[in-house]
Structure 1
Amino acid sequence: MSIGIVVILYNPDVEHVNHLIDEFASDDWQIAIVDNSPHPTQLDLASNCIYSHYPSNLGIAEAQNIGLRALFSQSIGYCFLLDQDSSFSPVIAASLYKQFIALEKVSPVAAIGPAIHCQFSNTVQEGVIQKGKQISLGLKEVKQIIASGMLISQQAFEKVGEKESALFIDGVDHEWCWRAKRKGLKVYQSQLVSMPHRQGDDRVKVLGITFKQGTPVRLYYQLRNVLILSRRRYVPIYWKCRHLFAIPLRYIVNRFVFENGQERGQFMRKGLRDGIKKNYGPLK
Structure 2
Amino acid sequence: MRIFAVAITYHPDASMLTKVLHAIASQVQGIVVIDNGSRNAEEVCSIASALGVQVVANKQNLGIAKAQNQGIKLAQAEDFSHILLLDQDTVLAPGVVADLARNLANLEKEHGAVAAIGPAYYEVNSRQRTRAYRGSGPLLSRISVDKKMDPLASDFIIASGSLIPLSVLEKVGEFKEELFIDLVDVEWCFRARAAGYRTFLCPTANVDHHLGSGTVYVGRRQIAVHAPVRNYYWVRNALWLARQYYTPLAWRIYLFSRCLAFLAVYTTMVDNRTFRFKLIVRGARDGLAGHLGQLEL
Which residue number in structure 1 is paired with residue 265 of structure 2?
A: 253
Matched, 1:73 2:77: yes
Which residue number in structure 1 is paired with residue 128 of structure 2?
A: 123
Matched, 1:104 2:135: no
Question: Residue type matched to 2:291 in 1?
Answer: N
1:33 deviates by 0.7
- Measured on the aligned residues, the alpha-carbon RMSD in Å equals 2.1
* Residues 133 and 140, structure 1, Cα contact 8 Å, conserved in 2: no
* Residues 132 and 155, structure 2, Cα contact 8 Å, conserved in 1: no
SS at match of 1:205: strand
Distance 1:108-1:79 versus aligned 2 partners, 3 A rule: same
Which residue number in structure 2 is paired with residue 225 of structure 1?
A: 237
For 1:181 and 1:283, locate their aligned partners in 2 and report how far apart those are by CA, in whole Å. Answer: 29
Which residue number in structure 2 is paired with residue 177 of structure 1?
A: 189
- Identity of matched residues, %: 32
Matched, 1:274 2:274: no
Matched, 1:36 2:36: yes
Which residue number in structure 2 is paired with residue 146 of structure 1?
A: 158
Q: Which moved more, 1:150-159 or 1:17-26?
A: 17-26
Which residue number in structure 1 is paired with residue 53 of structure 2?
A: 49
Which residue number in structure 2 is paired with residue 160 of structure 1?
A: 172
SS at match of 1:58: coil
Which residue number in structure 1 is paired with residue 277 of structure 2?
A: 265
Gaps of 5+ in 1: none
Question: Residue type matched to 1:70 in 2?
Answer: L
1:35 deviates by 0.3
Question: Residue type matched to 1:229 in 2?
Answer: L
* Residues 125 and 213, structure 2, Cα contact 8 Å, conserved in 1: no
For 1:27 and 1:170, locate their aligned partners in 2 and report how far apart those are by CA, in whole Å. Answer: 27
Distance 1:116-1:23 versus aligned 2 partners, 3 A rule: closer
Gaps of 5+ in 2: 134-139
SS at match of 2:216: strand
- Measured against aligned partners, the alpha-carbon deviations of 1:231-251 in whole angstroms (never above 9, x if no partner) come to 112112112112212333321
Question: Residue type matched to 2:127 in 1?
Answer: N
Which residue number in structure 1 is paired with residue 119 of structure 2?
A: 114
Distance 1:246-1:174 versus aligned 2 partners, 3 A rule: closer
1:46 deviates by 4.8
Distance 1:16-1:179 versus aligned 2 partners, 3 A rule: same
* Residues 14 and 41, structure 1, Cα contact 8 Å, conserved in 2: no
Question: Residue type matched to 2:123 in 1?
Answer: C
SS at match of 1:162: coil
Distance 1:140-1:165 versus aligned 2 partners, 3 A rule: same
Question: Residue type matched to 1:164 in 2?
Answer: K
- Normalised to the residue count of structure 2, the TM-score between the two structures is 0.88
> Which of 84, 91, 99 is matched with 1:95 structurally?
99
